Structure 1
Amino acid sequence: MPVASPVDFATYGDYAFTPPAGPRDAPPGHFLGRVTADGSSGWRAEPGRYHLYVSLACPWAHRSIIVRALKGLDDVVGMTVLDPVRDGRGWAFRDVADPVNDFALLRDAYRATDPGFDGHVSVPVLWDREKGVIVSNNYPDLSLDLGRAFDAWATPLDLYPAALRPGIDALNAKIYTTVNKGVYRCGFARSQGSYDRFVATVFTTLDELEERLSTRRFLFGDQLTEADVRLYVTLARFDAVYAPHFRASLRRLADYDHLWAYTRDLYAIPAFGGTTDLDHIRRHYFRTQPALNPSRIVPAGPVPDFTAPHGRGPRFVPGAEVR
């Protein structure tokens, strides 16, 4: 099976893209298919039909990786992990070959689906083996669809219960704007004034979440939800990358009693901790963002101790509460 040649910044340069013009609330993905249990969307959930292309480094892809694991879909939806370091060619298959299409570069999947595609090549990508095209690269939809559409073959765990959806949607929107995207805005701020505003916003929300988690185990009480998945992917990267690299450094995550214990509580769940790869995460951020790290040197630390006792209760077992 073919794989991409080694990363070569001298030949291919750095990966770069121009964000598409459009409304601020436009979906982040280019391909917007939705998988449904009944196939009413045009994409029926079936075991073995779909395959995820992901990066362990990318927080947006990490959402889908976690949900796939929480729902026990390893044998239902395939998955291939891409190399964490991108040169000008974008995401590539290096250590692991593409078992579905023999693609060497993820952009090959985009162009196989849309031959004229010349935009941002992002992860995660859900590929349909039957039709030979990308279903979606719209990460907000993908984690939701993995959490619901494959329930016939999945662990009985509802991450998006109807009664909680208004609250989950509202909290997700706030976390996305102020925390998930907020750390990036700190890192790429173009002025001191902009940075000061962005970093204040990040920590205002973290302070509010610290208070919220002082009286409940997860964001919505004892029930693990999609909101916890979406927050965790930023918290897991915070002290190792976002504080030193993006300068989101007013406080460390480890300085928050409840948020830090909450992060360790989630990490103890194999779907979270088992998919958190600090090596991939560090190499991606520190080697592929030369505007912030021109030397491309990957620091050895800090090394968060995710395995320290968290004191928030016995380890959560997906599906156990409904069996």
Structure 2
Amino acid sequence: MSSTPLAAIPSPRSAPTFRGRIGRDARSGHYAVPRRYRLHLSTACADGLRIAVTHSLLGLDESCPAVFLSAVPDCPSGGHSALRPLYEASAHRYSGPAAAPVLSDDWSGRIVSTHAPDIMRDLARHFGEGGPQLYPCGAESEIEAVERLCAEGIEDAAQRAGAAGVEQDERDEALGRLLETLGSLDRWLDGREHLIRDELTAADVELWVSLVQLDTVHRNHLDAAAVQRIADHPHLWAYARRLAAHPAFGTHLDLDGIARRHHAHCRGLEAAGAAVQILDWAAHAADETGACRS
């Protein structure tokens, strides 16, 4: 596998996206060597939570250490001061936010990638020997479909359904799209433990984090009736509870951090749905792990 050149690509958030890839040999530039790479994550961030769960499922504490950052970035620009040297070494005259997540190369002191899907795939393919097959052979198209469904049908739809300053018919259309997505997933999960292939895969990580975001972030901007309709998908939320009790999932559930990060960044109005919690995430995580990350 050849590596994408280490270059900054502008993104809507103004921070560059680095798309280097870990390959199999020296020709790739970033080839797979245990303890060469380091993760920098905030589990209060959805992408950081996805990577942290993947990292734990694969058992990569030794081969690819992870540094956990504060829930709320400590720089006025919205980045983390601890990541500033990496960004400045990786992008000429960089002045934007030093945002997480980051996969860095300890050999060069530069950023390999800030793109969560690439990071998750490279960790699984090059350091995940002996762990679960999170990206089983032939399942890539299914996993990509789940990623799109979660991004568009759950997270984007939920955000638009609760957006301030948007016409009511637009919010209603977004809520309808969200409920349609949840309904199809609920029917699909009836009698199933996992989303695809009857085994734990990256698709489960993707969906679980989207459900966490839906109940801990987007719910705050929806009315109580909408939240009750969202909660009325028993197979889907039972699935979310089961995964929360898995140590690789539940130990990274920083509920207080998610709330603080949301309040620090969100400019929307709190709605009646804020009081209607769908799951007691802390209790379900504690069932198996005994404690949640604080």
TM-score, normalisation: structure 2: 0.81
Equivalent residue number for residue 209 of structure 1:
185
Equivalent residue number for residue 93 of structure 2:
116
Question: Please, which moves more after superposition, 178-187 or 191-200?
Answer: 178-187
Equivalent residue number for residue 131 of structure 1:
108
Report the residue type matching 2:214 in the other structure. Answer: F
Question: In 1, distance between residues paired with 2:26 and 2:204?
Answer: 28
Shift of residue 156, structure 1, vs aligned partner: 2.5
Point out the structure with the larger helix share: 2
CA contact (8 A) 2:32 2:126 kept: yes
Question: In 2, distance between residues paired with 1:128 and 1:292?
Answer: 41
Question: In 2, distance between residues paired with 1:54 and 1:131?
Answer: 19
User: SS in structure 1 opposite 2:77?
Assistant: coil
Pair 1:231 & 2:207 matched: yes
Question: In 2, distance between residues paired with 1:248 and 1:160?
Answer: 37
User: SS in structure 2 opposite 1:172?
Assistant: helix
Shift of residue 145, structure 1, vs aligned partner: 1.1
Equivalent residue number for residue 90 of structure 1:
78
Shift of residue 308, structure 1, vs aligned partner: 6.7
User: SS in structure 1 opposite 2:112?
Assistant: strand
Pair 1:287 & 2:275 matched: no
CA contact (8 A) 2:245 2:284 kept: no
Map 1:189-208 → 2, pairs under 5 A: 190-192=165-167, 193-208=169-184
Report the residue type matching 2:135 in the other structure. Answer: Y
Question: In 2, distance between residues paired with 1:292 and 1:18?
Answer: 26
CA RMSD of aligned residues (A): 3.0
The CA deviation string for residues 84-135 of structure 1, in whole angstroms up to 9 with x for no partner, is 123523233xxxxxxxxxxx34344212211323445432100100011000
Pair 1:45 & 2:32 matched: yes
Pair 1:166 & 2:141 matched: yes
Question: In 1, distance between residues paired with 2:283 and 2:255?
Answer: 16
User: SS in structure 2 opposite 1:250?
Assistant: helix
Question: In 1, distance between residues paired with 2:181 and 2:276?
Answer: 25
Question: In 2, distance between residues paired with 1:34 and 1:248?
Answer: 44
CA contact (8 A) 1:268 1:307 kept: no
Equivalent residue number for residue 321 of structure 1:
none
User: SS in structure 2 opposite 1:162?
Assistant: coil
Report the residue type matching 1:175 in the other structure. Answer: C
Return closer, same or farther for 1:123/1:208 CA change in 2, 3 Å cut-off. Answer: same
- Equivalent of 2:20, from 5, 29, 33? 33
CA contact (8 A) 1:127 1:136 kept: yes
Map 1:149-188 → 2, pairs under 5 A: 149-151=126-128, 154-188=129-163
User: SS in structure 1 opposite 2:205?
Assistant: helix
User: SS in structure 1 opposite 2:17?
Assistant: coil
Q: Gaps spanning 5+ residues in structure 2: where? A: 1-9, 289-294
Shift of residue 191, structure 1, vs aligned partner: 1.3
Return closer, same or farther for 1:156/1:81 CA change in 2, 3 Å cut-off. Answer: closer
User: SS in structure 2 opposite 1:251?
Assistant: helix
TM-score, normalisation: structure 1: 0.74
The CA deviation string for residues 186-224 of structure 1, in whole angstroms up to 9 with x for no partner, is 344641233222222122101110011013111114211
Shift of residue 39, structure 1, vs aligned partner: 4.6
Shift of residue 239, structure 1, vs aligned partner: 2.3
Map 1:98-109 → 2, pairs under 5 A: 104-109=81-86
How many percent identity over aligned positions?
A: 34
Question: In 2, distance between residues paired with 1:250 and 1:40?
Answer: 53
CA contact (8 A) 1:186 1:247 kept: no
Shift of residue 19, structure 1, vs aligned partner: 1.8
Equivalent residue number for residue 4 of structure 1:
none
User: SS in structure 1 opposite 2:217?
Assistant: helix
Equivalent residue number for residue 227 of structure 2:
251
CA contact (8 A) 1:45 1:149 kept: yes
